[in-house]
């Protein structure tokens, strides 16, 4: 016996509700899963990470996943992105010669297990994206005034955002009864509209599980938890006192959202039945639309990345340091 599911045509941040419904159905299946992919037209990095996480979880439980009828023009791309690890592909013809060579613009779906990887992965992704832009030379001499190369100006905001997103995912996801939570990341540059898209997804406790009981959380709903988590200086372990593990300042997600905004883009967050878009509609998703954990899609305009200055992204503070800081 197997459960037959139909993949929606768009597996992307813009259709996150439909993707969440598909993933939830797959995760609720009590037997093997057969996926009808005939209608599939487009998958973005968030969609890849959600699919990858779902297929991985099903595989972990011992269910086999078969994908049928994958259109040839998208199948090769998704295979290159390593979305189908452990998945059996049936009637999914590849079309030699028609597959786009996107080696210059993507980073394959990657699963992270340990916190120590986040620095390396953030650096790898940012470099892979920017280093292969056809008009950017990583070896060009730095600007004499600033000491920066254009390559570095483009890499650093992406690396900064990715580090914060991966740190958040790896530290928060495993709280509240999810010690085995994993994190998936994928990215893609779209030259036709100069957009960089990142997807970071975990299958952990979610915003509500992380902020449960927090004094700043007025209502115990997934959407409220997302919005509370976006407020500066709110974190599940900021106010809990000094612990052996690290404390969080509750600023990383705010800063990441502002990086996307400054770079002409947007942030989308899905957690539980809550969906927040920095541009566009937010709200509670429909019945059976649910993501256990957190999914974040960041989109930004590549040509605006070099305008990001980190000092301009910090939240305002009305307090001063009581001890004079010594800079030299």
Partner 1 sequence: MHNSFILQQYARGRLVGARATAAPLRELLEGALLRGEECILDFSGVQATQSFVDELVGALILRHGPDILASLIFRSCSDDVRAIIEFVAADRCDQFLKTRAH
CB closer to partner 1 out of 116 and 145: 116
Burial class of residue 128 in the structure, from the number of CB atoms within 10 Å of its CB (0-12 exposed, 13-18 middle, 19+ buried) = middle
Name the residue nearer to partner 1 (CB basis): 65 or 166: 166
**Window 225 to 264, contacts with partner 1 (CB under 8 A):** 233, 238, 241-242, 246-249, 251-252, 255
* 240 CB burial (10 A radius; 0-12, 13-18, 19+): exposed
Q: Of 258 and 302, which has the nearer Cβ to partner 1?
A: 258
- Name residues whose C-beta falls within 8 Å of residue 12's C-beta, 6 or more positions apart in sequence: 19, 42, 43, 44, 46, 47
CB of 136 or CB of 247, closer to partner 1: 247
CB nearer to partner 1: pick between 156 and 202? 156
Q: Least distance (Å) from partner 1 to the CB of residue 29?
A: 36
Taking CB under 8 A as the binding criterion, the range among 7-15, 27-35, 161-169, 220-228 that sits at the site for partner 1 is: 161-169
Nearest-angstrom CA–CA distance, 275 and 95: 36
Q: Which of 30, 135, 139, 328 binds partner 1 (CB under 8 A)?
A: 328
How many whole angstroms separate alpha carbon 276 and alpha carbon 208? 14
Q: For residue 118, give both structure tokens.
A: 């986040």
How far apart CA 137 and CA 189 sit, in angstroms, is: 16
Decide whether 192 or 244 has the Cβ nearer to partner 1: 244
Six-digit token string for 119: 């620095």
Of 66, 78, 75, nearest to 93 by C-alpha is 75
Q: Minimal distance in Å, beta carbon 23 to partner 1?
A: 28
CA 207 to chain centre: 14
CA atoms of 31 and 149, how far apart (whole Å): 53
Is 255:159 a contact under the CB 8 Å cutoff? no
Q: Applying CB under 8 A, which part among 74-82, 271-279, 289-297, 305-313 lies near partner 1?
A: 305-313
- Which residue, 1 or 116, is less far from partner 1 as judged by CB? 116
Stretch of 61-69, 175-183, 281-289, 309-317 lying at the interface with partner 1 (CB under 8 A): 309-317
Residue 71 is encoded by which pair of tokens?
A: 């259109």
Segment 172-211, which members bind partner 1 (CB under 8 A)? none
Write out the binding residues for partner 1, residues 106-145 only, by CB under 8 A.
Answer: 115-116, 118-120, 122-123, 126-127
Q: Using the rule CB under 8 A, is 12 a contact of partner 1?
A: no
Residue 224 C-beta: closest distance to partner 1, Å: 23
Task: Select 89 or 122, whichever has its Cβ closest to partner 1.
Answer: 122
Q: How far is the CB of 222 from partner 1 (least distance, A)?
A: 24
Q: Cα(first)–Cα(last) distance of the chain, in Å? A: 70
Q: How many residues bind partner 1 (CB under 8 A)?
A: 46
Of 312, 265, 302, the closest CA to residue 126 belongs to 302
Cβ atoms 173, 203 nearer than 8 A? yes
Binding site for partner 1 (CB under 8 A): 115-116, 118-120, 122-123, 126-127, 147, 152, 155-156, 159-160, 163-164, 166-167, 171, 233, 238, 241-242, 246-249, 251-252, 255, 309-311, 314-315, 317, 319-323, 325-328
């Amino acid at each position: 016996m197997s459960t037959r599911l139909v993949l929606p045509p768009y597996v992307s941040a813009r259709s996150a509700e439909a993707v969440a419904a598909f993933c939830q159905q797959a995760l609720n299946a009590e037997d093997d899963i057969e996926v009808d992919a005939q209608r599939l037209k487009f998958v973005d990095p968030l969609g890849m990470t959600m699919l990858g996480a779902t297929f991985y979880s099903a595989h972990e439980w011992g269910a086999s996943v078969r994908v049928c009828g994958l259109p040839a023009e998208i199948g090769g791309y998704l295979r290159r992105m390593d979305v189908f690890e452990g998945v059996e592909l049936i009637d999914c013809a590849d079309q030699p010669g028609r597959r786009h060579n996107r080696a210059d613009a993507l980073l394959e779906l990657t699963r992270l297990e340990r916190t120590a990887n986040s620095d390396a992965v953030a650096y790898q992704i940012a470099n892979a994206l920017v280093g292969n832009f056809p008009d950017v030379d990583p070896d060009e001499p730095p600007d004499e005034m600033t000491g920066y190369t254009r390559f570095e100006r483009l890499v650093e905001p992406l690396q900064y955002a990715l580090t914060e997103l991966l740190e958040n995912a790896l530290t928060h996801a495993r709280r509240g009864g999810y010690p085995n939570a994993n994190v998936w990341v994928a990215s893609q540059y779209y030259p036709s509209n100069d957009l960089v898209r990142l997807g970071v997804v975990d299958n952990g406790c979610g915003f509500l599980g992380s902020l449960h009981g927090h004094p700043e959380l007025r209502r115990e709903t997934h959407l409220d938890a997302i919005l509370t988590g976006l407020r500066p200086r709110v974190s599940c372990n900021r106010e809990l006192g000094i612990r052996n593990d690290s404390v969080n300042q509750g600023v990383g997600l705010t800063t990441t959202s502002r990086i996307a905004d400054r770079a002409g883009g947007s942030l989308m967050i899905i957690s539980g039945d809550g969906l927040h878009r920095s541009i566009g509609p937010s709200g509670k998703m429909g019945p059976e639309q649910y993501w256990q954990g957190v999914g974040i899609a960041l989109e930004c305009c590549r040509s605006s990345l070099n305008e990001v200055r980190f000092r301009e992204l910090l939240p305002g503070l009305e307090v001063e340091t009581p001890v004079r800081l010594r800079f030299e």
